[in-house]
């Protein structure tokens, strides 16, 4: 599955893993994408020295676990290319790293010092919560995304806690996961543009 000629084979494994919940297919998909996810983990600005090699396996396992959770249920995701799977895995991993960062040091805006515009914060330089929230609100045009961002990143709630705490607004866990993925994709695209 390591070359482009194997794309149909890779897509078939992904389909079997998602639709049929085939454990062998899931294992093969994870093995196929493992090195790429590990590379993202090593190269992400939030990684730094905070992740010891023993923790890497935990982050990678969480990434795939959330991937499988997000692809099951009433709104199954369909992937037309392996790159679509990779994009989804990357968003999930970056979300896990953002959650870890939030847990350790509060809300921070992350860019690299080399690519940050003049006056913008970078890793290690805290931004006060009010400024961070203002930037996040400007980035998220959708009211549901802003609300989910507030509940996730300001209140520190997990998706299951949001469904439990706010059933009138968000009764479907898959909608919460989808909105979280949208938020992370927007933040990722902003980070890539810097």
Residue 192, pLDDT score: 56
- Say how far apart CA 75 and CA 78 lie, in whole Å: 9
Write down the mean pLDDT value for the chain.
Answer: 75
Residue 3, pLDDT score: 45
Q: The pTM is what?
A: 0.55
Mean pLDDT on 105-132: 46
- Say how far apart CA 101 and CA 106 lie, in whole Å: 7
Instruction: Reduce the secondary structure of 119-187 to three states and give it as a string.
Output: CCCCCCCCCCHHHHHHHHHHHCCCHHHHHHHHHHHHCCCCHHHHHHHCCCCCCCHHHHHHHHHHHHHHH
């Amino acid at each position: 599955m390591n070359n482009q000629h194997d794309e149909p084979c890779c897509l078939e494994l992904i389909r079997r893993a998602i639709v049929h919940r085939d454990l062998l297919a899931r294992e093969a998909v994870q093995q196929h994408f493992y090195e790429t996810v590990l590379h993202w983990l090593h190269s992400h600005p939030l990684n730094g020295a905070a992740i010891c090699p023993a923790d890497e396996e935990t982050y990678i396992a969480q990434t795939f676990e959330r991937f499988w959770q997000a692809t099951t249920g009433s709104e199954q995701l369909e992937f037309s290319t392996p790159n679509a799977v990779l994009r989804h895995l990357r968003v999930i991993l970056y979300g896990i790293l953002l959650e870890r960062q939030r847990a350790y040091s509060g809300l921070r805006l992350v860019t690299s010092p080399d690519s940050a515009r003049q006056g913008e914060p970078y890793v290690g330089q805290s931004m006060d919560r009010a400024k961070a929230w203002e930037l996040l609100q400007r980035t998220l045009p959708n009211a549901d995304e802003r609300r989910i961002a507030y509940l996730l990143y300001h209140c520190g709630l997990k998706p299951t806690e949001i469904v439990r705490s706010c059933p009138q607004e968000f009764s479907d866990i898959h909608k919460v996961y989808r909105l979280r993925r949208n938020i992370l994709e927007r933040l990722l695209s902003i980070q890539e543009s810097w």
